[in-house]
């Protein structure tokens, strides 16, 4: 009893009384804690140390912890260390009830955010297991089945749909699964395929870590455009794009084996030769759906030189159309040549990489764009970097997507066919001009596997990935203290932007689940296309008691289960 008395008050406040977590006695929590070797922890909001009220009750401000949080509020590496932090902070809060605990992102030391304000639990689970073994996960499934307490799985908290949070759930934090192993002769268990160079990582390992580890082994890991995205969690299971994907494929194309505890309680090895249906589902079906991944093994490439172009210019009403025309006219050629990269908002321009061309070929390929930059107060440099890690360190770390604010995105995969007719190109250019006028410069990851030699049927991501050139997107941010109507207005704008403007460009295409729009109308088709029906069968097979559920995931039970997402129609 004494073990939990310090935190129980959280759940005895009015309003929380009907939540399933209350049906659990102290003794049951204690038993769970014992079963998981003392790795059950109570969670409080990330920014609580800065507040003098918690759930309306008086608490003491912790000046030292608060100062560290204020100083590092927008640091992804700092947020990574905390179970309670999300990268997109609205998912720390319960948006619909305006319950949360945020600082002012633009000025984290502002006292306006903390004075007279109660820090509330929001979507942060009251308890979580700091996962260390498969048996921790087995215990969590058993507990959830017995008590009805829902589960949520958090790795790094990057998810743009908020799928790593659920109010009043038992959280499973995979962050501390930190093993890394290089094997020059990896063969998946029970397979007799040729040995390949591969890296196996525990589920908590992030991109920065695996890039350094691969480089130390003379290899390249094909991964995300940020330091702290997880390697084995949502990134992988949702698809996993890289600016090297045009040549080397998506994360799901390169994974060789996954170790996972499925909701039926079994620790399984999934690869092409055993649990092959599950392996297929994990290659695109999305995180948080088929079980809890413990580790994953990925094909790596040899270290190779990479050509890089860094181009910026000053957009004006007079030059934007020419800029978009160059991008649209040339993208099919660039894709075939193996270029990948990002078309950026600020500064306007591109950073593209190419692992296949020589420096002189790269220079010839980019000549028109370089001339454009020079004529428009811009800069353009093309150079050879010795490998991926030096490129990542010098170019990406300074431009990775911001974190620590309330942000959502909307996106659609843009099919190659659109770029191949005069009519399609002019529609796309008109759209880009329109999108820029309404929402600012578009953000476009050019990271589809367009010239990767795909074996059809091996992954469950939407087939739209295979013939698309761009992920056309825009990000939308709102202030920390926005009212519910203000938040709803932004979410509604993003929804309309996607469903009226982007879908008009490519009605039959799809979107990347990890960078999708929160209220996607037809998520089954949009994220998985023709793969959805089989994914649902596999979900039912491995999660027969429906222990895992997340927002717009395969087998999603609907919005009623997730009351923190505002009702846009309200």
SS (HEC) of 295-318: EEEEECEECCCEEEEEEECCCCCC
Q: What tokens does 7 get? A: 């935190």
55, 84, 93, 156: which one contacts ligand FAD (CB under 6 A)? 156
Binding characters for ligand NAG, 525-564, by CB under 6 A (x = yes): ----------------------------------------
Residues that bind ligand FAD (rule: CB under 6 A) add up to a total of: 35
Interaction of residue 42 with ligand NAG, rule CB under 6 A:
yes
Binders of ligand NAG among residues 284 to 323 (CB under 6 A) are 310, 312, 314, 322
Q: For residues 229 and 235, give the distance between their C-alpha atoms in angstroms, rounded to a whole number.
A: 7
Contacts of 139 by beta carbon, 8 Å cutoff, 6+ apart? 32, 35, 36, 129
* Under 8 Å between Cβ of 231 and 201: yes
Contact partner at residue 8 from ligand FAD, ligand NAG, none, CB < 5 to 8 Å by partner kind: none
Nearer to ligand NAG, 20 or 479 (CB): 479
Q: For residues 447 and 148, give the distance between their C-alpha atoms in angstroms, rounded to a whole number.
A: 41
Nearer to ligand FAD, 160 or 372 (CB): 160
Binders of ligand NAG among residues 465 to 524 (CB under 6 A) are 479, 481-483, 500-501
Binders of ligand FAD among residues 498 to 537 (CB under 6 A) are 514-515
* Under 8 Å between Cβ of 164 and 91: yes
Nearer to ligand NAG, 78 or 160 (CB): 78
Q: For residues 259 and 267, give the distance between their C-alpha atoms in angstroms, rounded to a whole number.
A: 7
Q: For residues 243 and 440, give the distance between their C-alpha atoms in angstroms, rounded to a whole number.
A: 23
Count of beta carbons in the 10 Å neighbourhood of residue 534: 16
DSSP readout, 514-549?
Answer: GG--TT-TTHHHHHHGGGHHHHHHHHHHH-TT----
Binding characters for ligand FAD, 190-229, by CB under 6 A (x = yes): -------------x--------------------xxx--x
Contact partner at residue 225 from ligand FAD, ligand NAG, none, CB < 5 to 8 Å by partner kind: ligand FAD
Q: For residues 214 and 222, give the distance between their C-alpha atoms in angstroms, rounded to a whole number.
A: 10
Interaction of residue 494 with ligand FAD, rule CB under 6 A:
no
Q: What tokens does 283 get? A: 């290659």
Give the angle subtended at the CA of 90 by the CAs of 398 and 67, to the nearest 5°: 65
- Please give the sequence-ordered ranges of beta strands (E in DSSP) within 321-387, or none if there are none: 340-344, 349-354, 379-385
Binding characters for ligand FAD, 238-277, by CB under 6 A (x = yes): x-xx------------------------------------
> Please, what is the minimum distance in Å from the beta carbon of residue 226 to ligand FAD?
4
**Candidate segments 20-28, 158-166, 300-308, 429-437, binder of ligand FAD by CB under 6 A:** 158-166
The residue among 482, 488, 564 whose CA lies nearest residue 113 is: 482
Q: For residues 23 and 83, give the distance between their C-alpha atoms in angstroms, rounded to a whole number.
A: 24
Interface ranges with ligand NAG (CB under 6 A): 3-4, 13-15, 33, 38, 40-42, 55-56, 68, 71-72, 75, 78, 104, 112, 118, 120, 127, 310, 312, 314, 322, 325-326, 329, 377, 379, 394-395, 422, 425, 434, 437-438, 479, 481-483, 500-501
Q: Which residues bind ligand FAD (CB under 6 A)?
A: 87, 153-160, 163-164, 174, 203, 224-226, 229-230, 232-235, 238, 240-241, 287-288, 292-293, 400-401, 403, 514-515, 550
């Amino acid at each position: 009893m004494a073990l939990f008395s310090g935190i129980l008050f959280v759940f005895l406040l009015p309003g929380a009384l009907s939540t399933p977590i209350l049906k659990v006695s102290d003794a049951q929590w204690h038993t769970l804690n014992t079963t998981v070797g003392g790795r059950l922890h109570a969670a409080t909001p990330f920014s609580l140390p800065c507040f003098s009220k918690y759930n309306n009750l008086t608490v003491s401000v912790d000046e030292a912890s608060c100062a560290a949080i204020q100083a590092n509020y927008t640091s992804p590496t700092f947020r990574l260390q905390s179970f309670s932090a999300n990268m997109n902070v609205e998912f720390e809060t319960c948006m619909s009830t305006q319950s949360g605990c945020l600082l002012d992102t633009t000025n984290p030391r502002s006292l306006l955010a903390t004075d007279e304000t109660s820090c509330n639990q929001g979507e942060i689970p009251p308890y979580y297991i700091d996962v260390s073994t498969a048996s921790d996960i087995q215990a969590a499934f058993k507990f959830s089945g017995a008590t009805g307490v829902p589960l949520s799985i958090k790795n790094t908290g990057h998810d743009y749909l908020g799928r790593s949070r659920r109010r009043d759930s038992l959280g499973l934090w995979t962050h501390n699964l930190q093993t890394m192993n290089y094997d020059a002769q990896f063969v998946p268990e029970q397979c007799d395929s040729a040995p390949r160079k591969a890296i196996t990582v525990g589920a908590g390992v992030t991109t920065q870590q695996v890039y350094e580890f691969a480089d130390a082994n003379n290899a390249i890991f094909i991964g995300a455009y940020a330091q702290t995205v997880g390697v084995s969690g949502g990134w992988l299971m949702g698809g996993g794009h890289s600016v090297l994907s045009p040549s080397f494929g998506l994360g799901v194309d390169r994974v060789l084996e996954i170790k996972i505890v499925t909701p039926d309680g079994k620790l399984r090895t999934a690869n092409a030769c055993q649990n092959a249906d599950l392996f297929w589902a994990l290659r695109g079906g999305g995180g948080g759906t088929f079980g809890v991944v413990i580790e994953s093994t990925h094909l790596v490439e040899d270290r190779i030189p990479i050509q890089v172009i860094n181009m910026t210019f000053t957009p004006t009403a007079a030059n934007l159309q020419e800029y978009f025309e160059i991008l649209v006219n040339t993208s099919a050629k660039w894709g075939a040549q193996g270029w990948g990269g990002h078309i950026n908002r600020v500064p306007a321009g591109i950073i593209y990489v190419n692992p296949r061309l020589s420096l002189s070929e790269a220079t010839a390929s980019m000549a028109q764009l370089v001339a454009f930059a020079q004529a428009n107060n811009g800069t353009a440099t093309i150079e050879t970097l010795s490998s991926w890690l030096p490129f990542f360190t010098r170019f990406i770390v300074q431009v990775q997507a911001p974190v620590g604010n309330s942000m959502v995105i909307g996106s659609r995969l843009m099919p190659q066919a659109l770029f191949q007719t005069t009519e399609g190109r002019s529609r796309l250019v008109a759209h880009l001009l329109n999108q820029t006028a309404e929402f600012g410069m578009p953000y476009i990851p050019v990271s589809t596997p367009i010239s990767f030699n795909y074996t059809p049927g091996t992954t469950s991501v939407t087939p739209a990935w295979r013939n698309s050139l761009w992920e056309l997107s825009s990000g939308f941010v709102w202030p920390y203290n926005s009212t519910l109507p203000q938040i709803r207005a932004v979410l509604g704008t993003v929804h309309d932007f996607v469903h009226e403007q982007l879908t008009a460009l490519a009605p039959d295409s799809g979107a990347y689940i990890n960078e999708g729009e929160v209220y996607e109308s037809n998520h089954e088709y949009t994220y998985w296309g023709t793969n959805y029906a089989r994914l649902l069968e596999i979900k039912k097979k491995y999660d027969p008691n429906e222990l895992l559920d997340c927002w717009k995931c395969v087998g999603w039970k609907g919005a009623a289960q997730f009351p923190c997402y505002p009702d846009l129609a309200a």
